[in-house]
Structure 1
Amino acid sequence: MKPIVVPVNFSENSANAARYAADLALSIGAEIQLLYIFQIPMSMSEVPMPERAFEDLQGSGREMLDNLSHELFRRSRGKLTIHSDMEIGTVEGQIEKYCKEKEPLLVVMGATGGGLENVLTGSNSVRAVRHLPYPVLVVPEGVRFQSMRYVVVACDQEDLSAGLPVATPVLQLMGNMPGIRLEVVHVLREDESASEFTMAYNHWKSELTGLQPALRIVRAENITEGMSEFLEGCGADLLVVFPKKHNVLEFHRSQAKRLVMHCAVPVMSIHE
């Protein structure tokens, strides 16, 4: 199985995301690849850094990476396979290069604030990977992994026509977990037909193997209000979105911020 890549920076939020990733990996039988990107301080980039100072910084990074790796190994009671790597360069460039080499099942990162806000509007770290051709799971601050019981897939008719998420391995794995509930949610606007979306959904569902998601159509005057009301008390363990042109969640930044006030669950962003 392909690994789960977890970029870390040793903040508490980053460590929390690593713990979440470790618990998730253990539940689906995946391995963990911890990645620390050592960035040369800007104040030192214009002049050569003393070799001893450079080695000390590298050593400190490696020590923290090893400590985190050992913590996750103990957390899994020795059942989880964990690898760790340290790269030198920019966050964006090195994550992209590393993922091309590892071809991960999933990239897991921590982000302060609502997970969906960071997928749509972006913190620095999430913005660096938001266009990677791999699923990116953003873990909101303080959220801990619980066994996946309810996964919400927010999509539109265009997503279904494109076959998403039929060919998404990580969703296939989650869909096969015991007791999981997978639900496709669509906000029906005034200019859309419920029967047309239902037909597209039934055709898409007939091509699935193993997965048997339910359908929930939410009627609302606009997408923001509809998703906000649905997410506020639905109790989902994971929200899956497909950021792309004309996607149901691809709207103005101010609207996105209103939506994520009620979204405190991890958000998985899957690109075409």
Structure 2
Amino acid sequence: MLTAMKTILVPIDYSDESQNILAYALELARTISADVIVFHAFFPIMSPPASYNAADVVLALEGGKRRELEQFTHKVKEVVAHTYCLHTSLVTDTATDRRISDFDGVNISCIAKMGGPYEAIKQAIRKYNADLVVMGMQEGEALSQALLGSTTISIMQVSHVPVLALPKGVTFKGLRSVLFAADLNKLPVGADLRLLREFIKATQAKLQVLHLYRTQRQFEEFEAQDALDTLSRNFQGIDYDVSFDLSENVAAGIQKYVREQQADLLVLIPQKHTLFERLLDKSVTGKITAHPLVPLLSLPPGMLQQAADAKEKALSEE
């Protein structure tokens, strides 16, 4: 289990937002002293002739794509350094007296693999022991996302590590306030939230936990003490508050708190929905990503199920 944020995986597809995504990841990595793996999955333009050794051809293609990725990464590093210097009129970081462009302490690796993005990213998360994945977030109606699909949302649903999705044009300005929107009614007593705790520790942000009731009846019937005890156990040593509110439209209620708290990051644990529910646009995560305000950190959806399974097993053994 994760004990520190050590490695950030950044899948790049060379879309218009790729430069911004990598720049954000590099700045975050510098903040939390993590290494960065810049990753690109690709398909060849044409299949090699049958007479060629397939393994050698794949290695050659991956080598060429890796060099392209290294050039792209170098360009982004220069852009980040130039932007920093323009905003601060500094060439060096006064706290460390190091050149901004050096990204001292951030080990950056570039890896290219032939294959489909979804499968390649899934494999890369495990192969390279990633602790966090940083990806782009496509915009548009949630219904369109359900029909057309999104690599980012697909990875969120299967990843065993957090996935940080960035809206278009969002730049890294530090993480001072983080909003964790959670359905505490579904939070198992044995829930393990150390992934979030370690992220908050690494960024030194203030954590705001939000539970929204959909109806007055839910407000009257919900006993919150067990959930509050679970939060207290998980967030020892973390600066956090818990808020309760009533909002029939959960997605709208969450975004309202994002604005009011001036949150730099929203944290969710996506719940699994049937295809029918997704097509009816009942997914809170889908609604949030359709009109994003801030970056979204998606915690592994299996976290809650693992805790629930462990509790059920313990009860059956009594």
Two-structure CA RMSD over aligned residues (Å): 3.3
> Helix, strand or coil for the counterpart of 2:17?
helix
TM superposition shift of 1:142: 0.5
CA contact (8 A) 2:66 2:112 kept: yes
Aligned counterparts, 1:8-157, within 5 A: 8-41=12-45, 44-45=46-47, 48=49, 61-74=65-78, 75=81, 76-78=100-102, 79=104, 80-113=106-139, 121=146, 123-130=149-156, 131-157=158-184
- 2:31 matches 1:6: no
CA offset digits 1:205-258 (Å, max 9, x no partner)? 331321232011121224234224333444211111101248xxx874267565
- 2:301 matches 1:267: no
- Matched letter for residue 240 of structure 2: P
- 2:242 matches 1:242: no
The CA distance in 1 between the partners of 2:50 and 2:166, in whole Å, is 35
CA offset digits 1:102-149 (Å, max 9, x no partner)? 2211001112327x959x847532144121211111111110011101
- Matched letter for residue 139 of structure 2: G
Unaligned runs of 5+ in 1: none
- 2:281 matches 1:253: yes
The CA distance in 2 between the partners of 1:31 and 1:260, in whole Å, is 27
Q: How many residues align?
A: 261
Change (3 A) 1:77 1:187: same
* TM-score, scaled relative to structure 2: 0.70
- Matched letter for residue 77 of structure 1: S
- Matched letter for residue 7 of structure 1: P
* TM-score, scaled relative to structure 1: 0.80
TM superposition shift of 1:93: 1.6
Change (3 A) 1:123 1:21: farther
Q: Which has the larger helix fraction?
A: 2
How many percent identity over aligned positions?
A: 25
Question: Of residues 150, 170, 189 in structure 1, which corresponds to 2:214?
Answer: 189
CA contact (8 A) 2:251 2:288 kept: yes
The CA distance in 1 between the partners of 2:190 and 2:75, in whole Å, is 39
The CA distance in 2 between the partners of 1:255 and 1:55, in whole Å, is 41
> Helix, strand or coil for the counterpart of 1:19?
helix
CA contact (8 A) 1:32 1:81 kept: yes
Unaligned runs of 5+ in 2: 82-99, 303-318
- Matched letter for residue 18 of structure 2: S
> Helix, strand or coil for the counterpart of 1:192?
helix
* Larger gyration radius, structure 1 or structure 2: 2
